[in-house]
Amino acid sequence: MAIKINNIILKIDEDKSILKSKIAKKLKIDILEIKNFKIIKESLDARKKNDIRFTYCIEIEHANEKKLVERLKDRDVNLEEDSYDAEIEFGTKELKNRPVVVGFGPAGIFTALLLAEKGYKPLVIERGEDVDKRTATVDKFWKDGKLNLESNVQFGEGGAGAFSDGKLTTRIKDTRCDYILRELVKAGAPEEITYVGKPHVGTDILKNVVKNIREKIKSLGGEIRFSSKLENIKSEDGKITSIVVNGEEIPCENVILGIGHSSRDTYEMLNEIGVFMEPKAFAIGVRIEHPQDIINKSQYGETYKHSRLKAAEYRLTYQSKKLERAVYSFCMCPGGVVVAAASEENRLVSNGMSYHARDLDNANSALVVTVGPDDFEGDSPLRGMEFQRKYEGLAYSLGGGGSKAPVQLVGDFMENRISEKLGGVNPSYKPGFEFKDLRECLPSYVVEALKEAIVEFDRKIKGYASSDAVLTGIETRTSAPVRLTRTETLESISLIGLYPAGEGAGFAGGIISAAVDGLKVAERIIKEYKPITSI
């Protein structure tokens, strides 16, 4: 047990070294009574540009914790609740075969890790390459535009998040989040991710973190196979009996499906064998780039160059009453780049990415508009996926092929004209771009909603609607276009032993929530079955 203290404040020029004295003052005790303390959360408060400050939540150890809290009667001082420790009561059923985890993104990684820690020796199959080979493959794609259909920004060790920003922000309140962050730190992520308000690892560091977790899973008895694609799932009497991977049939009764939001051929296979799924809403739009300095000045004011201030972020939302659609920023990447992120031939997909330092010239973010089943043609549960394909295909053709992206400056976009030259912002997208009219690769209602939102967002961030800000088409992979509906046991409602998990199943959005969902599925299997003593 420990004491948790909220609202310890440091002004921007105050050093962290004085935190201990501020804690003692808050608790009305001698500084020597504080055995140990650690930062639980650090949040930047820049609402008053002339008084930027950091707010801390601190955990301390004290000889008489309960008595101290009761004496103070301070709403900011409480006894800390126990965090998630993965202590789960084992089930009693015998496993005939190892549980199989399909996909080695956040959901798959943490499902496999917990199962391995508890003695279940999971088999992980991942269609893409290990992260080192995958990085080389993706770098080549960004140079020459030649796509590897099995290993790319969407598929491979680490999942799609390995080529974004490694953002670890989440709105869910779940003690499993602490476990996930601790494991990431053990694997090499910066300690600060456990306490900063908007944690991120960065693509460069995240790759090594994922490798270290992979090796931990293997050391605990797990097996991981790369370049191994799930081709079929076989069943009898509504229960899984085996899967087919690269032509090999593997007996199994439990399959955790952490395939990510872009495994379209896997969705099609699941639909063909009768796995129940339903279309769900997502959002599409563009990437917008500004000079990072514009965002910094808007968020921090005249102190924007202070050494303690990192590249500023933003989160913007707008509701179009006329169009009855929401517009919002998504996956904002400070000091980052826009990258090609397709996973199918003749499709154009953009995404954003930052390295840990976030020190490049441009800020970029997706600017997207909500779409839903009523916007999709037909009655197939995969009609949202076909909607994505349609506009990705239009964007690819508009860019002229070779994965070049259609680009338009904001001023020209607002006036419905094709741009002719760049202003103060250089598009960061690789392997290249062409000036085009983005109306040709987006639904008209998306275009109109974006125009409304850009005007509104300029009121919140001065310079957001700058005529030379860059729009890059198109962003379509904000979340899965389907939901693989589950029962209370987290199994598919149509196939016993199939556990859809994470973002690809439609139950998460982002690295942390997907990892949490993976842990929940692992817990479910642990509660039902005994650990494996032999394979």
Q: Is residue 517 in some structural domain?
A: yes
Mean pLDDT of 290-309: 96
pLDDT at 81 over 80: no
Predicted pLDDT at 429: 98
b/e map 62-100, b = 16+ CB within 10 Å: beeeeebbeebeeeebeeeeeeeeeeeeeeeeebebbbb
CATH number of the domain that residue 11 is part of: 3.30.70.2700
Predicted pLDDT at 246: 98
Residues 313 and 360 in one domain: yes
Predicted pLDDT at 83: 65
Range of the domain at 470: 281-475
pLDDT > 90: what percent of the chain?
Answer: 91
b/e map 452-489, b = 16+ CB within 10 Å: bbbebbeeebeebbbebbbbbbbbbbbbbbbbbbbeee
Q: Is residue 514 in some structural domain?
A: yes
Residues 141 and 177 in one domain: yes
Predicted pLDDT at 116: 98
Predicted pLDDT at 86: 63
Residues 253 and 386 in one domain: no
Residues 470 and 323 in one domain: yes
408: helix, strand or coil: strand
Q: Is residue 86 in some structural domain?
A: no
The per-residue pLDDT for range 377-423, each reduced to its tens digit, is 999 999 999 999 999 999 999 999 999 999 999 999 999 999 999 99
pLDDT at 58 over 70: yes
pLDDT at 259 over 70: yes
- pTM for the model stands at 0.93
Predicted pLDDT at 533: 82
Q: Do 262 and 341 meet the contact criterion of CB atoms below 8 Å apart?
A: no
How many domains does the chain fold into? Answer: 3
Mean pLDDT of 206-218: 97
pLDDT at 105 over 90: yes
The per-residue pLDDT for range 450-502, each reduced to its tens digit, is 999 999 999 999 999 999 999 999 999 999 999 999 999 999 999 999 999 99
Residues 301 and 338 in one domain: yes
Residues 272 and 288 in one domain: no
CATH number of the domain that residue 501 is part of: 3.50.50.60
Residues 247 and 289 in one domain: no
pLDDT at 89 over 70: yes
